[in-house]
A and B are shown apart, each in its own frame.
Chain A
C-alpha cells in the first residue's frame, strides 16, 4: 500500500514539476519517490504469509514428537546428516540406535523407511528422520564446490534470504572440519535432549544443507552459542 502510494505520489510530483513548474530538482525528487515506492513494494512482499509465532509452534511440536521418541528409545548417539543421494529423495538425518566409536557412513542409498539398516552388522540399525533442513536443502541447494566461499554463498542465500533466520553467515574450513558462524540467529537455543542428538534447528538446517551441497554425510561436531553468534562445527565421518 505504502509502495503504491509512493509510486503514485512520485509520478504526480514528477509530471507536475516537469510540465508546469519546469523544476529539475523537483522532477528528480518525484522520480526518486517512484524508485522508493518500487523498493517499498518489494519489501512489503517479503513479509511471510504464515505468522512467525505459528511457524514456531509447528516447528516445536514436530521437534517435541521426535524428542519424545528419542528419549523413550534412550538414544544418545549423534545423528549423521545424509545427502539426498544416500536417501530416497531428500536430505535426511540418520540416528544410529547404538553408540559406535566410528560414526556410520552408508555407502548405498538407504530405503525410504523410518527404521533402516545401514551396515552389514546386526547392530547397524538407525532411525531415518526428516529434519527442518531436509525440505529447504532439497529445494534450494545444488551440488556445489566445497570451497568455503561457495558454501557461504549457498548458506547465506537460504539463511539470510529465503528463511531470514540470521543476519550473516561465514564459512571456513580447518582441516576436515567446516566451521559455520551464524551472526544474530533468530532461533533461540534451548537445552533439550533432542538438540544433543540432532543439534539445534539452526545447526540442523546448516548440516542438511552442507551435506547436500557436498554430497557427503556430515556430523555436527560441536555447537557454541555466544551472545550474537552461533558457531557450528561440522565434520564428515571418516
Chain B
C-alpha cells in the first residue's frame, strides 16, 4: 500500500516497476519471518516460484527493450 502510494505520488507509470518492487518486498518479508510452519511454507514457496518467474519475465523484457530499442512494457 505504501509502495503504491509513494510511486503514484512520484508519478511512476510503469507497472513493471510496481510489480518488481512488490516481488522484492515479498521475498524480503518472507525471508525475515522464516522459518514458517511446513504447511504454510509450501504455499509461500509456490507463490515465490510464481513471483520469481514473473520477475524474470520483467527483467527479460527490459533487457530485450534495451537491446532492440523497442518499448515492450
**Which residues from chain A sit less than 8 Å from chain B, CB to CB?**
24-25, 27-29, 31-32, 35, 38-39, 41-43, 45-46, 156-157, 160-162, 164
Known: A28-B19, A31-B19, A160-B35. A39 touches B47 (CB 8 A): yes
A4 to chain B, nearest CB (A): 12
**Which residues from chain B sit less than 8 Å from chain A, CB to CB?**
1, 3-4, 7-8, 12-15, 18-19, 22-23, 26, 30, 34-44, 47, 51
A1 to chain B, nearest CB (A): 14
- Would A45 and B40 count as touching, CB distance under 8 A? yes
Known: A42-B47, A160-B35. A24 touches B15 (CB 8 A): yes
Q: Which B residues are CB-close (under 8 A) to A31? A: 15, 18-19, 22
Interface of B is mostly: helix
Tell me the complex Cα distance, A29–B21, Å. 12
Known: A38-B47, A161-B35. A32 touches B4 (CB 8 A): yes
- Would B47 and A35 count as touching, CB distance under 8 A? yes
- Would B38 and A161 count as touching, CB distance under 8 A? yes
Tell me the complex Cα distance, A28–B51, Å. 14
Tell me the complex Cα distance, A39–B34, Å. 13
Q: Which A residues are CB-close (under 8 A) to B26? A: 35, 39
Known: A39-B44, A41-B43, A45-B43. A25 touches B4 (CB 8 A): yes
Tell me the complex Cα distance, A29–B14, Å. 13
A217 to chain B, nearest CB (A): 27
